Homo-oligomer: A and B are copies of this chain.
Amino acid sequence: MIDRHHLEILRAVDRDGSLTAAAESLHLTQSALSHAIRKLERYLGTSLWLRDGRQLRLTQAGEYLLSLSNRLLPQLEHAEQVIGQFARGQRGTLRIGMECHPCYQWLLKVVGPYLEGWPDVDVDVKQKFQFGGIGALFGHDIDMLVTPDPLHRPGLVFEPVFDYEQVLVVSGDHPLASREFVVPGDLERETLITYPVEVERLDIYTRFFLPAHASPARHKTIETTDIMLQMVAAGRGVSALPKWLVAEYAEKLPVVPVRLGEEGLPKQIFLGLRERDCEVDYLNSFMNLAREVRWG
């Protein structure tokens, strides 16, 4: 079998011009080289060098193998470099899972600076998971989960990265637009627009309507934040979104945030990752960056 060692020998003998010199640069004795060559030549059934006096001259087979060496060895050497980077957490693909629809806007603000700091790390964002975000984390489909629901489990670590207030969004000319805050009863004749996820994961239900045994008149689901807010601006319904997100859209659309309940609906976004990965530099660095991003 032609081994990497053999390719190194071909290259070294060619580079250094003699067995003795090649042995030196390979940190071997000349004898060891001679034995190794003899063995390879016997295996291949052909000589690789012509011994012409004390000169070595490559045969055609030798030339061929030398060119192979010059092609393959750099690839192997590069691979070791790259794997070293993997090992030191300087390279990889950071696969982020999102369980929080509006967080996409937030994520973009983190990813930008991150990519600059980690030129060898690629970022990939996934939004659909067969067994939920936690399952995807366990199943190694993703490396990091952005979620408002930190389901603590052994082997997983969650850290809050930012706090915000979930608010009701209404159009600028909506009767509720000027209210200090709304109570569940205020929305009994309204159409509520949400992302298409299970009701249990919608805080406006779990923390606002359900405790008061109330509910909106209608419930529609829409995939994208943009369209959702277009609908709200057009007076076709109300929605519940992060306050900072509404603030951003308020510059372009006639939408207004209104506090949900007297105390408001405080929320937190968590980043989750596998406990084992906590020490991985490029994941850790993402966490730190995420905590630093601030909002007006």
Contact = CB atoms under 8 A, between A and B. Distances in A.
Interface of A: 1-5, 44-46, 50, 52, 57, 59-61, 64-65, 68, 71-72, 75-76, 79-80, 82-84, 86-88, 92-93, 140
Contacts of A75: 68, 71-72
Given A2-B4, A3-B4, A64-B83, 4 more contacts: A1-B80, A45-B84, A71-B75, A72-B76
Given A4-B2, A4-B3, A4-B4, A46 B76 contact: no
Given A68-B75, A140-B50, A60 B3 contact: no
Contacts of A80: 1-2, 44
Interface pairs A-B: 5 shortest CB-CB: A46-B87, A45-B87, A61-B86, A61-B83, A68-B79
A52 B138 CA distance: 10
20 contacts: A1-B4, A3-B3, A3-B5, A4-B4, A44-B83, A45-B88, A46-B83, A46-B86, A50-B140, A57-B140, A60-B86, A60-B93, A61-B83, A61-B86, A64-B82, A68-B76, A71-B75, A72-B72, A72-B75, A72-B76
A92 B58 CA distance: 13
Contacts of A45: 84, 87-88
Contacts of A79: 2, 64-65, 68
A76 to B, nearest CB: 6
Nearest to A93: B60
A71 to B, nearest CB: 7
Nearest to A3: B4
Nearest to A92: B60
Given A68-B79, A140-B57, A87 B44 contact: yes
Given A4-B2, A72-B76, A83 B65 contact: yes
Contacts of A88: 45
Nearest to A77: B2
A79 B64 CA distance: 8
A268 to B, nearest CB: 30
Contacts of A93: 60
Nearest to A68: B79
A65 to B, nearest CB: 7
A61 B44 contact: no
